[in-house]
Structure 1
Amino acid sequence: MSRPASCAQTIDPKLFRQLLGCFPTGVAIITARAADGKPVGLTCNSFSSVSLEPPLVLFSLRKASSLLGVFGEASTFAINILSQDQDALSSRFASSKIADKFEGVSWRFGPLGAPLIDDCLVSFECSFHARHEAGDHDIFIVEVKDMNTSSAGNALVFYKGAYMMLAESLRKLVLEGQLDTPDIDEAYRVLYGTLLRLACDRASEEEIDAIEASVNEIELHQAVDALPMRIEATASFFSSISVAGHNEALRLMAQTMTKVLRERMTHVIPMRPRPDTFPLRRQIVHRLRARDAEGAERSLHEMIDLLRKGEEDGTTPDAAAA
């Protein structure tokens, strides 16, 4: 049976990576021994099971990885599944700036000679089974020969560019009222003010179009029963600004602030439409198109001030980011 002709869109790599982040994954450190006997390892969330009989699992490495050659020559590997209190290890083994990843880390050689990291949820020691090229990655299929568990904690989970542990902690802080409105306002002023300045220099017209589209959505969903759609449109407004700023570190911080925004708008602040903020969002878009960094940041501050003034006057606000 012949397949229909493809009419699929061109896939943007950055957006593809971002959307893949919508699928929560565990975090593992894959380790092996180099030819000189030294342990090597890297953080990986592409680990997956393949078969029960025989017990096969897989992980993938970028072709650009400096360790691809070492892993290609290794005959045994260890897959160390991290617990939620091992996020520092995840960051350490993901960093290209740390030469000796194992310095200061508690570990041992397993029965097959692969490095096992202490206190992980689970460690699988494996032998080589197969290797396949797949785009810009190589897929390693390995057979589990030994396994052990040494922790009764919860798994470290990666979701939308952040550790789930962090996201859940933020949710708890918001719901318990431990994040004060002035602190949140200041965070939005500093973070999104910086992103707007960057966007004035770096954003494409298409990215500014996306910000304007979210403004249109906010104005469209003003009915009392449209709260969920208004929340999504507001989150999209700030997410689009973070994308337009073209700074990966600040974008990840913005994802954290979006988590705070969603929880506050959903559970904490009784929301009502605020059409008085519409012109200020429009000004932000206009000043972005004009590449007026100071004007765009000033409009953001004015919007936050207006929302707070409404609160002081007894008008229920959307939120600092509504």
Structure 2
Amino acid sequence: MNQPTPHAEPIDPKLFRQLLGCFPTGVAVITTRTPDGTPVGLTCNSFSSVSLEPPLVLFSLRKASSLLGTFVEADSFAINILSQSQDQLSGRFASSRIADKFEGVAWRPGPLGTPLVDDCLASFECRVHARHEAGDHEIFIGEVKHMRSGCADHALVFYKGAYMMLAESLRQRVLEGQLGTVDIDEAYRALYGKLLRLACERATPEEVDAIEAAVEEIEQHQGADALPRRIEATARFFSSISLAGHNEALRLMAQTMTTVLRERMTHVIPVRPRPDVFPLRRKVVQCLRTRDAEGAVAALDELITMLRRDGAAHAEEAAVAAPVEH
């Protein structure tokens, strides 16, 4: 008996890109020269090793890239792996507004003549070994002919659309108590207030359903032993709002705030069951369904106010009740 073929839903390009971002990658600047010898380069996080014998590496380049023709014509290229102190170089070589990417950038030609950027973690100079067409990208495989190690800094890491060093820096500042509660609450009100207004204009019914599902999960995990699941559900509540706003820049900012939220709920602020605020999250969802932007923002504002006020009071009670060391 033949089994029915499962129905395959089309892949959503935005979600595909978002989920690919769950895999942390290093950041490199790929360089070569034009036929007249001009150095050119671009930022890339698709660099990967292929083989040890012979030593092969690859990177992929969008067919829409203005440099595709240059790399196709070149017989060599270099991979320059960036350190975390070179994030400005990453932005420079990724910008379409900067005509001469090498202006003011320290570099030297390698043995093959390709530009090697100074102070990188490592550089690999390659002869083109093969080139393959793959969807909307061109894959370049290079045989490493020369390589050099550079500084002893940490690597610049790209994760979920942001540099991981930023997330790690924020995490450390949270743990050390360097981010004030007032400032964080103000940031939440400003960022998610804007996202809620956008979501009231742009959210699909399915995206509002996702926000409501996160609310339901928060309400289900109220026991003391369910704290990790409650933290994840709370993070999902806010991240679902950011997705429903359909603004990529604000979504990346929201990811940063989610990092702060997780660390504070896990290590800093006292977190206890709060059924008294259930109606406020429900009101946010209801206002999103009726496209009531002001109502949604007001409900979120009240939610933050109640959680902070009562959380501070609870922390003070716990401090008074704690034994004093002598």
CA distance 1:4–1:63, shift in 2 (3 Å):
farther
CA deviation string 1:127-185 (max 9, x = no partner): 11111111111111111111111211111111111111111111110111111111100
Counterpart of 1:249 in structure 2 is: 249
Question: Equivalents in 2 of 1:198, 1:14: separation in Å?
Answer: 17
Q: Work out the CA distance in 2 between the residues paired with 1:80 and 1:166.
A: 21
Relative distance call for 1:311 and 1:124 in structure 2 (3 A) is same
* Structure 2 letter corresponding to 1:26: G
Match of 1:24 in 2: 24
* Counterpart-to-counterpart distance in 2, 1:30 and 1:6: 41
What residue in structure 1 maps to residue 81 of structure 2? 81
Asked if 1:310 is matched to 2:314, the reply is no
Q: CA deviation at 1:26?
A: 0.7
Q: 1:312: Cα distance to partner?
A: 4.4
Change (3 A) 1:312 1:96: same
1:215 maps to what in 2? Answer: 215
Q: Distance in 1 between matches of 2:4 and 2:119?
A: 51
Q: Which amino acid aligns with 1:209?
A: D
Q: Distance in 2 between matches of 1:313 and 1:107?
A: 57
Match of 2:160 in 1: 160
- Secondary structure of the corresponding residue to residue 314 of structure 2: coil
Counterparts of 1:68-217 in structure 2, within 5 Å, are 68-217=68-217
Root-mean-square deviation (CA), in Å?
Answer: 1.6
C-alpha deviation, 1:65, in angstroms: 1.2
- 2:205–2:289 contact (8 Å) kept in structure 1: yes
The code of the aligned residue for 2:21 comes to G
Report the Cα offset of residue 313 of structure 1.
Answer: 3.8
Tell me the TM-score normalised to structure 1 length. 0.94
TM-score by length of 2: 0.93
Q: Could you list the runs of 5+ residues in structure 2 that have no partner in the other structure?
A: 317-326
Amino acid at match of 1:228: P
Tell me how far apart the structure 2 counterparts of residues 4 and 53 of structure 1 sit (CA, whole Å).
45
- Residue aligning to 2:288: 288
Q: CA deviation at 1:9?
A: 3.7
SS in 1 for 2:141: strand
How big is the shift at 1:4?
9.6
C-alpha distance in structure 1 between counterparts of 2:140 and 2:312, whole Å = 60
Change (3 A) 1:287 1:315: farther
Query: 1:167 & 1:314 partners in 2: Cα distance?
Result: 29
Note the C-alpha offset of 1:67.
1.1
What is the deviation of 1:315? 7.0
Contact 2:270/2:311 (<8 A) preserved: no
Structure 1 residue identity aligned to 2:267: H
Q: Does the 8 Å contact 2:24/2:160 carry over to 1? A: yes
Point out the structure with max Rg over C-alpha.
2
Identity %, equivalent residues: 76
Corresponding residue number in structure 2 for 1:11: 11
Confirm or deny: 8 A CA contact 2:62 2:136 kept in the other structure.
yes
> In structure 2, what is the equivalent of residue 235 of structure 1?
235
2:80 maps to amino acid: N
Q: Deviations over 1:38-69 (max 9, x none)?
A: 11111111100001111100000111111111
- Contact 2:131–2:141 (CA<8 Å) still a contact in 1? yes
One-letter amino acid of the structure 1 residue matched with residue 136 of structure 2: D
The CA deviation at 1:73 is 0.9
Q: Alpha-carbon deviations, 1:68-118, whole Å to 9, x = none?
A: 111111111010000111111111111122221111111111110111110
Number of residue pairs the alignment of both structures matches: 314
